[in-house]
Structure 1
Amino acid sequence: MAAARKPPSILGFPHRPEWGPAAHRKALAGHLRRCRDHVGLQPRQAARCINASESTISRMENGLSPLKPEEVEYLFDAYGVDDPRERHRIADLLEEAAKPDVWQPYAQSVPPLLRPLLAMEPAAQRIISYEPQLVPGWLQTEEYAEIVMRAAHPTMPARQIAERVALRVQRIEMLRRETTPPVLLAVMDSEVFRRQVGTPGVMYRQIQHLLALLEELPYRLRLQIAPLSVGAAGAIGHPIVHLRFFASEYLPDMVYLEQYEGAMYREKPAESERYLAVLNNLCGVASPPAQSPSLLTAALAAWR
């Protein structure tokens, strides 16, 4: 007789408030799907347990719908999840999942397509970013960020610009936290330091800021600069961000592809691995991180 399959467990996903509500919602959503699959229920059968539609179950299992505690409890009852440790962890994650995401205080200003990235990046173990045109958002000074925002959105009200700038410059704080901070590997084209944003003073202070961050966060921030000589390897015309999470068993890699009129996300393993390979190739041809301080110092001299 074949051994019974081991039921799914959520105990491997810790209760980590610093990872943000979205990560907890996403982990619970995937766990709901795995538990339903384990007991062999179809979505329409699960939907009857909470007097909902099949599409509601689909949205819940994909993290696209709020997780109401009473509905989640009914579903886990139907799935036979009765281990007190499992139910206690589920209750903790539900409580965390109900909190507002980091972007919600700025909801009137943050575009919807950017929200998933902002919501999930606090849970990342490693972030790899490629930026061909500008200093990456995490590393921008307030004045640099404001000029970039105004150039991209010349008709946006000043209040919304200010809110976007405030949110952008605070993103670096996740690298400063004491508990499970992510590591950020940022690759940018050398032309970023020749492309004037604002006055020469703005550029000078921005490069100074990068040097200060490298000194402050030597194990959490790695910066690589790709010269024009990398050729085709650097011929990517849009920013790419690849997130890998601490609880990777519960949270699949996420890829964010930014474009002028919007953005796209890729989470299927084959797609995320393809973009990771592109980024790894860029890292391989860019200058090593150890050379970045001297390259930045040389760039600084050009803006004196």
Structure 2
Amino acid sequence: MPNSPLVPTVRRRRLGASLRRFRNEAGMTLDAAAGAMAWRAPKLSKIEGATQSIRPVEVEALLTVYGVQDTRVKDALKALAQDAGKKGWWQTYSTIVSPAYADYISLETDADTICEWSPLVVPGLLQTAAYARETIAGVTTSRTPEEVVALAEVRMARQAVLSRPGTAPELWAIIHEAALHQRFPARPATMREQLRRLLGVSEMPNVTVQLMPLDSTPNPGVVGGFTVTAFPQPMPSVVLLENLSGATYVEGNDAAPFAKAFECIRVTALPVEDSLARIAELEESHRK
């Protein structure tokens, strides 16, 4: 029996898209490129479509065919090929972590910069365990209490990326102030603890937190939240959009408008020092 096609993980999609881009820039058809590798065109098509694996040594040979000489590019894509099928710690939670969520954790793990605009909730990388449990339980319509607890554990485990020695990503999080006025009747201390968490994590050298004030001027953020994950060159950025039906990814050139929008949102938000002062004011108000 023929082998079943591989699941197109986000790493394979990023690799396939990059190889397709370099092939197009070289002006080569699928047939020509595959022929230069002594392959059949369907094999290369599957690699570009992320349904077939490719070894790092084959990546280097293919890039040579395309005339790519930059060693940084070759090393980045070979590393992606090496890690394309690698299982992460989140596989332990495979029964509750959807493939789309697993893809995002993989992106988060590989990123060197994460820019998140969050108009409704505190970003997951900055949440306390109690806040995570309360918000997950509040938005879900089908999860059991046990699954809610497990999903909160996943969210907490993701935060380890911020303190990863040597390779921790830069996180720039912009939160709408309205999200910090949310009430938790069953556990009133939740928001106070969350505000303290924001003040604490903002002291990390790779974390920047800004607030969008309640009286802000119109800006691209009114359309909705998004997260831009950026990677070392030559890998393009990937944007995450979330809604009740799950996650949607915007990749390649289509991600560029979101980076521009984030810059507009950043300029509209309170300066960092003013943002932290406002968070401190809110935290103090919860103690009265």
Q: TM-score, normalised by structure 1?
A: 0.75
- Could you list the runs of 5+ residues in structure 2 that have no partner in the other structure? 1-8
2:247 matched residue in structure 1: 263
State the percentage of identical aligned residues. Answer: 22
Q: How many angstroms apart in 1 are the aligned matches of 2:239 and 2:107?
A: 11
**Shift of the alpha carbon at 1:41?**
5.3
SS of the equivalent of 2:230 reads strand
**1:246-257 matches, cutoff 5 A:** 247-249=232-234, 251-257=235-241
**Does the C-alpha gap of structure 1 residues 281 and 22 become closer, same or farther in structure 2, counting only changes over 3 Å?**
same
Q: Which shows bigger deviation, 70-79 or 255-264? A: 70-79
**Shift of the alpha carbon at 1:116?**
2.6
**Does the C-alpha gap of structure 1 residues 113 and 97 become closer, same or farther in structure 2, counting only changes over 3 Å?**
closer
**Does the C-alpha gap of structure 1 residues 61 and 229 become closer, same or farther in structure 2, counting only changes over 3 Å?**
same
1:272 matched residue in structure 2: 255
SS of the equivalent of 2:215 reads helix
2:219 matched residue in structure 1: 233
**1:1-304 matches, cutoff 5 A:** 23=11, 25=12, 28-30=15-17, 32-33=19-20, 42-44=29-31, 54=42, 57-62=44-49, 64-67=50-53, 69=55, 72=58, 76=62, 79=65, 94-197=81-184, 198-215=186-203, 217=204, 219-233=205-219, 236-245=222-231, 247-249=232-234, 251-269=235-253, 271-304=254-287
Contact 2:169/2:206 (<8 A) preserved: yes
**Shift of the alpha carbon at 1:111?**
2.6
- Could you list the runs of 5+ residues in structure 1 that have no partner in the other structure? 1-20
Q: Which shows bigger deviation, 187-196 or 148-157? A: 148-157
Contact 2:228/2:240 (<8 A) preserved: yes
**Does the C-alpha gap of structure 1 residues 113 and 80 become closer, same or farther in structure 2, counting only changes over 3 Å?**
closer
Q: How many angstroms apart in 2 are the aligned matches of 1:280 and 1:94?
A: 32
**Shift of the alpha carbon at 1:45?**
6.0
Contact 2:136/2:152 (<8 A) preserved: yes
SS of the equivalent of 1:103 reads helix
**Does the C-alpha gap of structure 1 residues 68 and 222 become closer, same or farther in structure 2, counting only changes over 3 Å?**
same
**Shift of the alpha carbon at 1:257?**
1.4
**Shift of the alpha carbon at 1:148?**
1.0
**Shift of the alpha carbon at 1:47?**
6.3
**Shift of the alpha carbon at 1:290?**
1.6
Q: What is the aligned residue count?
A: 273
**Does the C-alpha gap of structure 1 residues 303 and 181 become closer, same or farther in structure 2, counting only changes over 3 Å?**
same
Q: TM-score, normalised by structure 2?
A: 0.79
**Shift of the alpha carbon at 1:28?**
4.3
1:266 partner letter: V
SS of the equivalent of 2:261 reads helix
**Shift of the alpha carbon at 1:52?**
6.5
2:255 partner letter: S
Q: How many angstroms apart in 2 are the aligned matches of 1:241 and 1:193?
A: 19
Contact 2:56/2:78 (<8 A) preserved: no
**Shift of the alpha carbon at 1:281?**
1.0
SS of the equivalent of 2:112 reads strand
SS of the equivalent of 2:86 reads coil
Q: How many angstroms apart in 1 are the aligned matches of 2:281 and 2:233?
A: 39
**Shift of the alpha carbon at 1:234?**
6.4
Contact 2:115/2:228 (<8 A) preserved: yes
CA-based RMSD of the aligned residues comes to 3.4
**Shift of the alpha carbon at 1:125?**
2.0
Q: How many angstroms apart in 2 are the aligned matches of 1:130 and 1:59?
A: 35
